[in-house]
Structure 1
Amino acid sequence: MQSIHLHPINDPLEKVWIMFLSRAVSSRARSRRMLATLAVVLLATVTGCAGGGDDSGGQAGEQGSPDTVRILVNPGSNSHVPIYVAQDAGIFRENGLDVQIVTNATAIQPLLTGDVDVAFPSPGQALIANEQGHDLRIFMTLIDKVLQAVVVRDEPKSGDTEYPDVLRQLTGKTLGVTVRGGAVDLNLRYVLREAGLNPDSDVTIVPTGNASAMLAAMQGGRVDGIMSLQPITAQLVTKGSGHVLVDLAKGEGPEAMNQPFITGVAAKSFIDAKPEVLDKLVESLRQAQEYIHDSANKAEFADIVKKRVYSTLTPSEIDQILAELGATTKTICFASKDLGNIAEVLITEGVVKKQADASSTIYTKAQEAAGCAAS
């Protein structure tokens, strides 16, 4: 596991100059945040010079040390890019957070063992964990559409081009997923089933391994199609060696697949102990969405994606990633309807037994504080 720990700068004036020197060129949204931070720092400096009192009376991160929070991310995943944006653009720091990014290939296990405070897995992971006796809460949406697509090697047949009819041409084909029983496998099975195909008899589904192995399987002809993830989709489409039949990120596919792909999850015990930290985290990631959508940040946004996730992609492939992230980070809100759609897929595929209770699965206060309507 790798962690990044940013130590606090204690001199208020030093904070001001570092922000101005390192971020002189910024978007309007970030400029407003900088001015707000500057006002707080200058006010603290003036009151301190006037014989102001003890910092312990204020909230952590406002006049004292920032609040530390450990966030789990998966290495090489574009699903966690908004977290990197909030870290690298200084948004977490401006909101009084000292974020330690912990990388681990497992989606949720370090959260269950208490090695991190917050994780951002697919929301189904929280439902599965809770059925197994854990007490987790979903507190926000990070990526609001499923970043998966059914991609085939051969040019699609003319005729039916929309879901569900477009998938009929997959009958008798071999389709690749990463691993059996994972989110990619479950989503493919559900999409096929809802299109009238039996995933166990009308097609052959095989595990190919990780993203690079899946790409190799497509390029080597070992599979006819895949339930694709990024950056595989961008690489195949850009090179003309893959054709998208159904793109879940664009809202294609069955209604239940219109659901968040990545959500914030924390243990109820952490939420009860530090609700103000969660408020700051959700607000920070809302501001990260603003940053992503501001065209003035495109070059810097591309640099963050290349540095943090995809250092080997071509500019054209990076542009596809940026466009998809812009289209799937439009809300931080997680509602009861989202929970119902997620549970519908998991129940259909035999992963969970019943619909989850919204009141004991969704923590709403932090997202409502950041502007979401009560659901």
Structure 2
Amino acid sequence: MKRVALRIAVAGLIMGTMSHSAFAGNEKITLMVGGMEKQIYLPAKLAEQLGYFKEQGLEVELLNEAAGVDAENELLAGQVQGVVGFYDHTIDLQSKGKFIESVVQFSHTPGEVELISAKLADKVKSPADFRGKTLGVTGLGSSTNFLTQYLAVSHGVPISEVTSIAVGAGNTFIAALKQGKIDGGMTTEPTISRLLKTGDAKVLVDLRSPESTQKWLGGLYPAASLYMQTSWVETHQATTQKLANAFVKTLRYISSHSAEELAAKMPADYYAGDKDSYVKALAAGKVSFIPDGRMPQSGPPTVLKVLSAFDQSVKGRPIDLAKTYTTKFVAAVPES
């Protein structure tokens, strides 16, 4: 009887250890994405579709949030562990005494376009003509709002003379433009292609390629990223490394596969009813993604310069750019 009891005890101990290992191996992580269907944030859903999170022993829940500023607030409140959003929030928040950092840098350009209503295309030739206009952004305090404000002030138009309205992206942005609620606005693919195809809008400022980004912003503007609270990263380094492994592997996949192959991995509703336009836009936009997830050295100073031009909380403040991103985790990602 003693022998049987011992066997049961040992078996229970083994099962307990196994279940604990299984539990520990499948860590639950919640990431908020500032617009899941946007092509600039493709790595988030693609990593899930390719099974790369599970491969790392992670159970990742992706939550959708239309505006980056709202995702940022959820992160600061501790409701999510990370955000797939724009790097510029790390600088804006540091100026307010809060520390978050880009752990994996997805892109070195915004991937955004300032569209103008076709009805006003003859009158609005550049951001210098923004005076008195109402422009759509995803959310007030979002990166689209930051960039719109910079384009205005860098062309001699005070922020006070431009009205920004939060209209989200996709159908809500399109409806606002068609109904005349906005004169134009900043948005991403696939919204851009949808409005160009119907002839309702024209491109005013293109921030998709490195060349055009340098023209309008004066340098590379690292944008889409995985950013997290610095305090969380420091206390969860093993988990952060697993996320970095999954995302860098995804970025390598993007670099080595065609737009058609990438689109085939995505849910059909991401095409917004037009797969051909989605693929075409993705083929052109792939140049934005960074294959190794490393922050381009020249990027952070450009973002700081842009924000300092209009953001009173950043202007003149001592910002430690080294604390706004880390390359520690992407540097440790295995080669294969």
Give the TM-score, by structure 1 length.
0.70
Task: Indicate the SS of the match to 1:99.
Answer: strand
2-structure distance, mates of 1:65, 1:288: 20
2-structure distance, mates of 1:133, 1:345: 19
State whether residues 248 and 330 of structure 2, in contact with CA within 8 Å, keep that contact through their aligned partners in structure 1. Answer: no
Kindly provide the amino acid, as one letter, of the partner of residue 80 in structure 1: Y
2-structure distance, mates of 1:182, 1:117: 19
Correspondences of 1:252-267 after superposition (within 5 Å): 252=212, 253-256=215-218, 258-267=220-229
Asked whether 1:114 is paired with 2:78, we answer yes
Asked whether 1:369 is paired with 2:332, we answer yes
2-structure distance, mates of 1:255, 1:85: 29
2-structure distance, mates of 1:72, 1:200: 29
Asked whether 1:341 is paired with 2:302, we answer yes
Structure 1 residue 122: deviation in Å?
Answer: 1.5
Structure 1 pair 360–215 and aligned structure 2 pair: CA distance change class (3 A): same
1-structure distance, mates of 2:277, 2:203: 15
Q: What is the match of residue 275 of structure 1?
A: 237
Alignment partner of 1:131 out of 81, 95, 98: 95
Structure 1 pair 257–180 and aligned structure 2 pair: CA distance change class (3 A): farther
State whether residues 340 and 356 of structure 1, in contact with CA within 8 Å, keep that contact through their aligned partners in structure 2. Answer: no
Kindly provide the amino acid, as one letter, of the partner of residue 110 in structure 2: V
Structure 1 pair 102–243 and aligned structure 2 pair: CA distance change class (3 A): closer
Asked whether 1:82 is paired with 2:40, we answer no
Q: What is the match of residue 101 of structure 1?
A: 62
Structure 1 pair 104–224 and aligned structure 2 pair: CA distance change class (3 A): closer
Alignment partner of 1:143 out of 107, 110, 133: 107
Cα RMSD for the two superposed structures? 3.5
Alignment partner of 1:230 out of 180, 189, 196: 189
Q: What is the match of residue 257 of structure 2?
A: 295
1-structure distance, mates of 2:176, 2:218: 29
Task: Indicate the SS of the match to 1:259.
Answer: coil
Structure 1 pair 271–182 and aligned structure 2 pair: CA distance change class (3 A): closer
Structure 1 pair 73–222 and aligned structure 2 pair: CA distance change class (3 A): closer
Structure 1 pair 168–356 and aligned structure 2 pair: CA distance change class (3 A): closer
Over the matched positions of the two proteins, sequence identity in percent amounts to 18
Task: Indicate the SS of the match to 2:29.
Answer: strand
Task: Indicate the SS of the match to 1:121.
Answer: strand
Alignment partner of 1:73 out of 28, 33, 45: 33
Structure 1 pair 296–264 and aligned structure 2 pair: CA distance change class (3 A): closer
State whether residues 92 and 99 of structure 1, in contact with CA within 8 Å, keep that contact through their aligned partners in structure 2. Answer: yes
Q: Deviations over 1:335-362 (max 9, x none)?
A: 4532222222222112424252133332
2-structure distance, mates of 1:228, 1:72: 19
Structure 1 pair 121–254 and aligned structure 2 pair: CA distance change class (3 A): same
Kindly provide the amino acid, as one letter, of the partner of residue 209 in structure 1: V
Structure 1 residue 324: deviation in Å?
Answer: 4.5
Alignment partner of 1:219 out of 168, 174, 178: 178
1-structure distance, mates of 2:309, 2:54: 42
Q: Deviations over 1:115-154 (max 9, x none)?
A: 2222222222222333333332222212331021122233
Give 5+ residue unaligned stretches, structure 2: 1-13
2-structure distance, mates of 1:189, 1:135: 24
Q: Deviations over 1:42-62 (max 9, x none)?
A: xxxxxxxxxxx9998xxx79x
Asked whether 1:329 is paired with 2:289, we answer yes
State whether residues 208 and 217 of structure 1, in contact with CA within 8 Å, keep that contact through their aligned partners in structure 2. Answer: no
Structure 1 pair 171–213 and aligned structure 2 pair: CA distance change class (3 A): same
Task: Indicate the SS of the match to 1:363.
Answer: coil
Task: Indicate the SS of the match to 1:149.
Answer: strand
Structure 1 pair 94–224 and aligned structure 2 pair: CA distance change class (3 A): same
State whether residues 128 and 157 of structure 2, in contact with CA within 8 Å, keep that contact through their aligned partners in structure 1. Answer: no
Structure 1 residue 108: deviation in Å?
Answer: 1.4
Kindly provide the amino acid, as one letter, of the partner of residue 284 in structure 1: A
Task: Indicate the SS of the match to 1:298.
Answer: helix
Q: What is the match of residue 20 of structure 1?
A: none
Structure 1 pair 279–198 and aligned structure 2 pair: CA distance change class (3 A): same
Structure 1 residue 334: deviation in Å?
Answer: 1.5
Structure 1 residue 166: deviation in Å?
Answer: 5.3
Alignment partner of 1:312 out of 272, 277, 283: 272
Task: Indicate the SS of the match to 1:263.
Answer: strand
Q: What is the match of residue 19 of structure 1?
A: none
Q: What is the match of residue 203 of structure 2?
A: 244
Task: Indicate the SS of the match to 2:325.
Answer: coil
Task: Indicate the SS of the match to 1:71.
Answer: strand
Give 5+ residue unaligned stretches, structure 1: 1-52, 158-164
Q: What is the match of residue 246 of structure 2?
A: 284
